Amino acid sequence: MKLFAFFPCFFLYLVAAKQTPRSNCCRRLPHTYNIGYDITGRPLQLDVGRCSASCENSDVLRSSSYISVLARIRERKDNSAESLTCRTHTHHRGECQPSVVHVEAVAFDRGPKYYDVIDECSCRKTPKRCERIPKMKRFFAGTGFEATVDVGQCAGGCRKEKSGKGCRPTRTASRPILGPNGMITVHTIAECNCQPTCYRQHFNVAVTERAENKSTGEYTFRTKVIDVGRCVGTCGPIERCVVRSNKRNQHTGDTKCLMSLETADVTCAPTRVNDITYVGRSGEVEHVAQIRRCGCT
């Protein structure tokens, strides 16, 4: 009897799975937030949207109470990573991610606030290695100042993810666009690499360097671009040793830590800095600090 009771349940499961081909869908669903109040005190709501790989059919769900129970279970998983898994047009496994986003400006009594609103979603194959992939963002949508910029995003895996490394932006760029108040700068991602939570990011400065022509003895001035770098990222609490033993290890020469305290005030800061020199306009040697390595200190 147990075997015969199993077949109807298994058949209903197959029907439900066939009617909701979850992995073949990627669509935008509404996601409304309460963002504040207008000048009259009425609450303001904004549909920022979200991407989901769910393929639920409302007409089918109304006709079967059994499938509607499955739908409720799937709705609870819509915000999980599993609900983003989809299948691309080339039948590869991918993630349902925003493909077009626009910036929505909402005016409040203390000034405007800006929100990213998802317009379209698409199923993208996740790169195996860390790389930059396109991400289109529209500014001043629906106005005469509308402009679309590929701001980019980092995606892909890293071999040393267990050690805290992830796919993060290592080089950024900027692009000016015209808005109602003049030119504004849009920051974009130019390059991605596997880096820890606190890492060095490329950052260039331009200086004027004086060079001497040895054959004529004349001086010329040229622009020199130096990658001074900057430290970006976050740091978690670390343990610092406050009491050490007087005895040293015979092999390593290190001392044993007897007591340590957890420090929460940790910042991502330079741990190795080089001195870059050049000849300035006046002929004096100028010095520039170049960050070579960053860490949690």
How many distinct structural domains can be found in the chain? 3
Q: Are residues 88 and 148 in the same domain?
A: no
Question: Of all residues in the chain, what percent carry a pLDDT higher than 70?
Answer: 81
Mean pLDDT for 15-33 is: 66
Residue (of 239, 230, 224, 240) closest to 269 by Cα position: 230
| pLDDT tens digits, 45-64 | 999 999 998 776 533 333 33
Boundary-marking domain end, from 125, 155, 180: 125
Q: Are residues 47 and 110 in the same domain?
A: yes
| pLDDT tens digits, 239-297 | 888 888 888 887 777 888 888 888 877 899 999 999 999 999 999 999 999 999 999 98
Helix (H, G, I), strand (E, B) or coil at 113: strand
Q: Report how far apart, in Å, the C-alpha atoms of 3 and of each of 6, 8, 66, 198 are.
A: 5, 10, 21, 57
Predicted TM-score (pTM) of this structure: 0.72
Q: Are residues 185 and 233 in the same domain?
A: no
Write out the two tokens for 282: 């006046």
Range of the domain at 168: 126-195
Neighbours of 204 (CB within 10 A): 10
**Is the pLDDT at 160 greater than 80, yes or no?**
no
**Is the pLDDT at 187 greater than 70, yes or no?**
yes
Within 13 Å, how many C-alpha atoms sit on residue 89's CB side? 1
- The helix (run of H) or strand (run of E) holding residue 61 is helix 58-63
Residue 1 confidence (pLDDT): 46
Mean pLDDT for 171-191 is: 96
**DSSP string for residues in 66-106:** HHHHHHHHHHHTTTSGGGGEEE-TTS-EEEEEEEEEEEEEE
Q: Are residues 147 and 116 in the same domain?
A: no
> Does residue 15 lie in a domain region?
no
> Does residue 281 lie in a domain region?
yes
Q: Are residues 50 and 98 in the same domain?
A: yes
Q: Are residues 116 and 130 in the same domain?
A: no
Band (pLDDT 50/70/90 cuts) for residue 162 is: low
CATH number for the domain including 97?
2.10.90
> Does residue 138 lie in a domain region?
yes
Q: Are residues 180 and 265 in the same domain?
A: no
Q: Are residues 259 and 291 in the same domain?
A: yes
Residue 291 confidence (pLDDT): 97
Least confident of 82-86, 212-216, 261-265, 289-293: 82-86
Q: Are residues 204 and 259 in the same domain?
A: yes
Q: Are residues 228 and 154 in the same domain?
A: no
Q: Are residues 187 and 203 in the same domain?
A: no
Residue 184 confidence (pLDDT): 95
Q: Report how far apart, in Å, the C-alpha atoms of 33 and of each of 24, 116, 207 are.
A: 28, 12, 47
Q: In whole angstroms, give the CA distance from residue 262 to residue 35.
A: 37
> Does residue 218 lie in a domain region?
yes
Mean pLDDT for 65-73 is: 45
